[in-house]
Structure 1
Amino acid sequence: MTISLKNTDRLLRSLLSCLAILLWQFPMHAHAEDNSPPQGSLVIIGGALRVDNAVVWQRIVQQAGGKGAKIAVIPAAAGNPERSGAATAAALNQNGAQAFVIPLSVKHPQFKPQDIVNDAGWLAKLKDASGVYFTGGDQGRIVQALVKPDGSKTAMLEAIWSIYQRGGVIAGSSAGAAIMSTTMFYDAKPVLPTLKLGVTDGKEIAAGLGFIGPDVFIDQHLIIRGRFARMLPVMLKKNYKLGLGVDENTAMVVSNQGEVEVIGYKGAILFDLAEASTDSSQKNFNISNARISYLDRGDRFNLRSKTLTPSADKLQGKLNPAQTYNTDQRFYADILANTVVTDLMFHLIDSKQQRAIGLAFGMDDQPELGFEFSFSKVAESQGYFSASSGAEAYTVHKLRLDIRPVKMQLPLYK
């Protein structure tokens, strides 16, 4: 029998790929799956990360080991993976990394995902890397490319987890942030319809990659798009007690000790539902006694102890409830509008006002149905303030949040 050189080369490549898969699934000196806690860190970015946001880019490189760190860029979520991958790698390299792009994407014009995830060459490069960066786009494409139809990990996803377990960094922006929790938004509706109609597994939500573990839900583009409220139906459905939503051009750095540090342009919303409840007799979404906090850049929060450490410039700026600054009473007609939730929280924590109300209505299939958001100060509520940078900055910890459905009589006028 005659075997052509072309067929020999193809056979050799196939054997190498099979060998690489075996090596990743059954590493030397390992007799069982490594279930030890990851030793690495996460950099979870809320999307729209600007090239000039050096604080975030440099932190990714630092978490990967510093100057010269090899970081794999995976543009699987992107609509144009070639352009997105190249731009991200360039930004990382400008900040000291040795980044390279793995052409993994269901949208890639040249390569099929199943060929990339099993390729011996790419798996070898990942074994030599100390960081992975997932670009933005559609998070469903990331899972589609890296998870097998039966839900098990591909060889490439095993390799990515190995980087994280041995002390590397996993970073992601927008879609790359959404995959960090065990549940992610998939084909999500706008915020108000999400409150009205809820979420269904396999439709609005799906399984993420779970790097942050099973106890924390992650969302992104949060404050600027008013998305904070859409986290709550998911957290209740999937029994999450903690939720973190990070804003655009901002990142949360999560250590292997559960310490969250906010860096970048703005901040993050933290939900704690440990003592929250719902009224099951109510047909529509509702929640009582939730806790909502705003973590500003420089703030730290420990996911295990649930302790907050405000940024250094706010340590001496703890607000005194008896000496508040704001005296006016405010009402918020559109709580889901751009940054309105944080505006309310900043005003309330530094005000004589004990409670502030916001409403959410929209012209959708049920325009008469809306929601009342009640924010109130409780004994554990705390605020911190700084104007050291020339602009006012607040940290707000543990306001109470209650949401109930309300109806508007339509038409408003005849």
Structure 2
Amino acid sequence: MLHSPDQPGTVIVIGGALKADSQAVWQRIVDEAGGPGSRIAVFPTAAYEPARVAAQIVASLNRCGAQADVVPIAPHLAGVDLQATLNDPALIARVAASRGVFFSGGAQEYLVDTLQPDGRDTPMLAAIRKVAQAGGVIAGTSAGAAVMSRVMFRDAMDNLAVLRGQWRAGQEYDRGFGFVSPQLLVDQHFLKRGRIGRMLPAMRALGYPLGLGVDENAAVVIRGSLLEVIGGSGAVVVDLREAVHDAALPVFNLRGARLSYLDHGDRHDLATGHTTPAEHKRREPRIEPGAAGFEPATRSERYFLDILGEGCFLAAMVQLLQGAFEEVKGLAFRARLGRAEEAGDIGFEFRLHRGPGLAGWHSAARGCEEYTVVGARLDVIPVRVAEPLFTPLTAEQPHVVPSVARS
């Protein structure tokens, strides 16, 4: 059973790199805050250029009818006494009376170190929680999205290092703000940066049954257990409730993870696992690889040599859904730079495979290729990669291409 935070508000998780003209996302934030005239407090706390970033966010929200203003709390904000502003009773009261809060992108450690030092809520963070408890909206992009779960990635940019177990509390991961269910781990820039590679071991190690990876220029609107995807890309829902691992292996491994990909207009209930595709997709035939008479859209086979590369994981899920093969594989590996690096020859093979219930939808009705993939299964198998991975072909080692008989 999924447990949600004790608050009636809405959380909007934006995967980063949100375009200023992403009207659907900005408008939804304003609508969830109460519509035209709603006061939204913008926190540029995570930003390296807080004044510039805050001005852009305020402009985008106000174009949609909000009355957004900046809360000048940021380590990089020139001419502001950070601690005095952070503890200003009038500013705290103003935030608490808002109908929405928006956290900018940047570095999430600035957010937690400023608003939740040593894991303790400041009065300002308590005021933000009052907004959520009163039914307001809490939104954040990139770093502002990372802080939404009870544990967050603090500075874990190397997916392969996390797969190899090279991450530490307080450094690569840390305590977040916990605005979503304590059973849900949130990550951002997800497909663009191949962050399935760090989410899976984190979920396994930290005891998360569910994960939500939001891609760039996309947002997920969360109300309790209900998710809705909006924007120009999508999100991956990861479910480890039936997954197993081999404790005898010395590194991360996993079998039987269940994954779904959702994009604009798709809805998903984390409690039931039920997905409702967008209306324009429901007008198209449902794709069921296990059904009688299934005709694959492609019969080509592709092995993904960099499964964590930009967009590769989604391409693999789509290939699994509409291709001719029961399994799609890819490798996550980086050659070691020196012999001293631990586990330098250890890589991970990602094996997406079909299971009961795999289904999906495809539509080009909105002028772009959109997919929903529900119920893909994933195994992550540690492998030892030979070094060198290849050797140059020489004249003494001719490569003979077998002839193909023609009929």
Structure-1-length-normalised TM-score = 0.88
The residue that corresponds to 1:288 in the other structure is: 255
The residue that corresponds to 1:335 in the other structure is: 307
The residue that corresponds to 2:375 in the other structure is: 398
The residue that corresponds to 2:141 in the other structure is: 173
- CA shift at 1:152, angstroms? 2.2
Matched residue of 1:197: which SS? coil
Matched residue of 2:55: which SS? helix
129-138 or 112-121, larger mean C-alpha shift: 112-121
1:122 to 78, 86, 91: 91
- CA shift at 1:213, angstroms? 2.4
- CA shift at 1:367, angstroms? 4.4
- Structure 2: distance between partners of 1:112 and 1:283: 49
The residue that corresponds to 2:172 in the other structure is: 204
Determine whether 1:98 maps to 2:67.
yes
Matched residue of 1:404: which SS? strand
- Structure 1: distance between partners of 2:364 and 2:105: 33
- Structure 2: distance between partners of 1:93 and 1:127: 20
**Contact 1:199–1:234 (8 Å) recurs in 2:** no
The residue that corresponds to 2:160 in the other structure is: 192
1:75 to 27, 33, 44: 44
The residue that corresponds to 1:32 in the other structure is: none
* Number of positions where the alignment pairs a residue of Structure 1 with one of Structure 2: 378
In structure 1, stretches of 5+ residues that fail to align are 1-34
Matched residue of 2:164: which SS? helix
The residue that corresponds to 2:318 in the other structure is: 346
**Contact 1:217–1:244 (8 Å) recurs in 2:** yes
**Contact 1:372–1:404 (8 Å) recurs in 2:** yes
The residue that corresponds to 1:246 in the other structure is: 214
Code of the aligned partner of 1:94: R
**Contact 2:194–2:308 (8 Å) recurs in 1:** yes
- CA shift at 1:36, angstroms? 8.0
- Structure 1: distance between partners of 2:335 and 2:48: 30
**Contact 1:199–1:233 (8 Å) recurs in 2:** no
The residue that corresponds to 1:12 in the other structure is: none
- Structure 1: distance between partners of 2:59 and 2:335: 43
2:277 to 301, 310, 320: 310
Give matches, 1:337-376, under 5 Å: 337-364=309-336, 365=341, 366-376=343-353
Change (3 A) 1:192 1:36: closer
Code of the aligned partner of 2:268: F
Describe the superposition over 1:303-336 as per-residue Cα deviations: whole angstroms up to 9, x where unpaired. Answer: 2222111111112431132233222222111101
- CA shift at 1:296, angstroms? 1.4
- CA shift at 1:124, angstroms? 2.2
Determine whether 1:41 maps to 2:10.
yes
- Structure 2: distance between partners of 1:69 and 1:58: 12
Code of the aligned partner of 2:391: Y
Structure-2-length-normalised TM-score = 0.90
- Structure 1: distance between partners of 2:306 and 2:300: 18
- CA shift at 1:139, angstroms? 0.4
CA RMSD across the alignment: 1.5
Code of the aligned partner of 2:142: S
Give matches, 1:247-286, under 5 Å: 247-255=215-223, 257-286=224-253
The residue that corresponds to 1:407 in the other structure is: 384
Query: Displaced runs of 4+ in structure 1, greater than 4 A?
Result: none
236-245 or 99-108, larger mean C-alpha shift: 99-108
- Structure 1: distance between partners of 2:108 and 2:203: 19
Matched residue of 1:88: which SS? helix
Describe the superposition over 1:171-190 as per-residue Cα deviations: whole angstroms up to 9, x where unpaired. Answer: 00000000000000112141
The residue that corresponds to 1:7 in the other structure is: none
